[in-house]
Structure 1
Amino acid sequence: MSEDLLNHPLIAARYFFPRPDSFAEPFWVDVGEARLACHYHRPHSHGYTLIHFHGNGEVAADWRDGFPEALASLGLNCLLAEFRGYGGSSGRPLLGAMLDDVEALINAAGVAPERLILFGRSVGSLFAVHGISLYPNIAGLILESAVADVLERLLLRLTPEELGASPAQLERAVAQRLDQQQKMHAYPGETLVMHARGDSLVDVSHGKRLHQWAGGPKRLHIFARGDHNNLMFVNQREYFAEIAEFVERLERGNEI
């Protein structure tokens, strides 16, 4: 029942906002009946690889120019993950199926979990947090403008009755696969949570909760400037300094 509910087409229609956008020579990741058109920037033979799960209404192509290079300057490789039905990918953005795709995306990086960082922005946080629940030995987790309460976000756009379910059934379905608190608490790795104080789309309380729930070493950075969709652009120096310090903490941890 939980899988059926999460894959309900009404969730796809109301909650996800895909758009087509293609680029030359994508890094293809096969996920059963769909192919995900990702981008992989690998300038470093050593160092960590960051898998970036973008936000809603975005596509991997939006992040191809400049972002991988900025991460490369910090010693990071970068896999820009794409979702079903987004960008040049095939398939439909069904929530349950998208969660299932996370394992294939992590494996496609071809890197041991201990050398991986998962990065989830906005709705992409659902998939990054799911990834650390699948591979708790992943080195680090970065969350930007992230979602703590998935049920709250769904109920903003639909009712359980529209899905043919009771409130209790929808709550149970979300709890079974999208319990952010449990997943964060069980993860022992390094976590960085970044959020804008004035986020008008996903309130800063979501970031504070995710940080509170994190079970391992953690840092919360609340930006005084910016909103949900421009956090990086208006805080570039501060934003990438946080990521650089995060990578340094990982490297120091490996030296112990």
Structure 2
Amino acid sequence: MTADLLNHPLIAARYFFPRPDSVAAPFWVEAGDARLACHYHRPHPQGFTLVHFHGNGEVAADWSEGFPEVMADLGLNCLVAEFRGYGGSTSRPLLGAMLDDVAALIRAADTPPERLILFGRSVGSLFAVHGVSLFPDIAGLILESAVADVLERLLLRLSPGELGVSPQQLAAAVAERLDQRSKMASYPGHTLVMHARGDSLVDVSHGERLHAWAGGPKRLRIFARGDHNNLMFVNQREYFGEIADFVAQLS
């Protein structure tokens, strides 16, 4: 029941906002019934690789120019993951299937888990956190403007009755596959959580909870400036400084 419910088309319609803009020369990842049009910048074959899961309403093309080069300056390769139904990818953005795609995306980096860093921004945090639950040997996890309570976010845009289930059934389905608390607690690697204090879309308490739940070495950076969608742009020096310091801890 859980997989079918998370793949309900109403969740896809209400919660995900894909655009068709694709990266110029996709790095294709085969994931079940979907082909995912990703971008892979790999200037450091022996270095750490960052796998970036973007936010809702964004596509890999938004992150394929500039961001990978900044990561390269920090000694990182960068795989910009694309979701099914987004950008040049095939299929539809169904939540359960998107979670199933995470393992394929991580394996596509062709890097040992202990040399990987997962980065999840906004809704991308669901997939980054899921990734470290699948591969607990991953070296690091970075969360920006991230979601702690998935059920809360779903209930903002739909009701259980619209899905044909009770509130208890929806809560159970979300808890079974999207229990952010238990996934964070069981991950032993390094975690960096960044959030804007004035985030008007995903309240700062989400970042605070994710940090509190993290089971390994962790750092929380709350930025006084910025909102959900411009945190990086208005805090570039400090933002990338936090990432650089985080990477230095892993080396």
TM-score tier by shorter-chain length is: over 0.9
4+ residue stretches of structure 1 with deviation over 3 A? none
- 1:144 pairs with 2:152: no
Percent identity of paired positions between Structure 1 and Structure 2: 81
Alignment match, 1:72: 72
The corresponding residue for 2:81 is 81
Structure 2 partner of 1:196: 196
User: Which residue of structure 2 aligns with residue 183 of structure 1?
Assistant: 183
Q: Give the drift of 1:33.
A: 1.3
Deviation readout 1:139-195 (Å, 9 max, x if unpaired): 000000000000000000000000000000000000000000000000000000000
Give unpaired runs (5+ residues) of structure 2: none
Q: CA RMSD in A?
A: 0.5
Aligned to 1:254: none
Distance in 2, matches of 1:24 and 1:218, equals 36
Quote the Cα distance in structure 2 between the aligned partners of 1:182 and 1:40: 30
Please name the residue that 2:233 is paired with: 233
**Residues 207-233 of structure 1: per-residue CA shift (max 9 Å, x gap):** 000000000000000001000000000
Q: Give the Cα–Cα distance (whole angstroms) in 2 for the partners of residues 22 and 243 of structure 1.
A: 27
Q: Quick one: distance in 2 between partners of 1:186 and 1:219?
A: 17
Name the residue aligned to 1:35. Answer: 35
CA contact (8 A) 2:184 2:215 kept: yes
Name the CA distance, whole Å, in 2 between partners of 1:55 and 1:24. Answer: 20
In structure 2, what is the Cα distance between the partners aligned to 1:103 and 1:33?
14
After alignment, is 25-34 or 141-150 more displaced?
A: 25-34
Aligned-pair distance for 1:24? 2.4
| Counterparts of residues 204-243 of structure 1 (less than 5 Å) | 204-243=204-243
Give the corresponding residue for 2:101.
101
**Contact 2:144–2:194, Cα closer than 8 Å, also in 1:** yes
Q: CA deviation at 1:23?
A: 2.8
Q: Quick one: distance in 2 between partners of 1:156 and 1:178?
A: 16
Q: Deviations over 1:28-65 (max 9, x none)?
A: 00112110000000011221000000000000000111
> What is the count of residue pairs matched by the alignment?
251
- How does the TM-score come out when normalised to structure 2? 0.99
Contact 2:83 2:98 in 1 (8 A): yes
Per-residue deviation, residues 217-251 of structure 1 (Å, max 9, x unmatched): 00000001000000000000000000000001111
* SS of 1:37 mapped into structure 2: strand
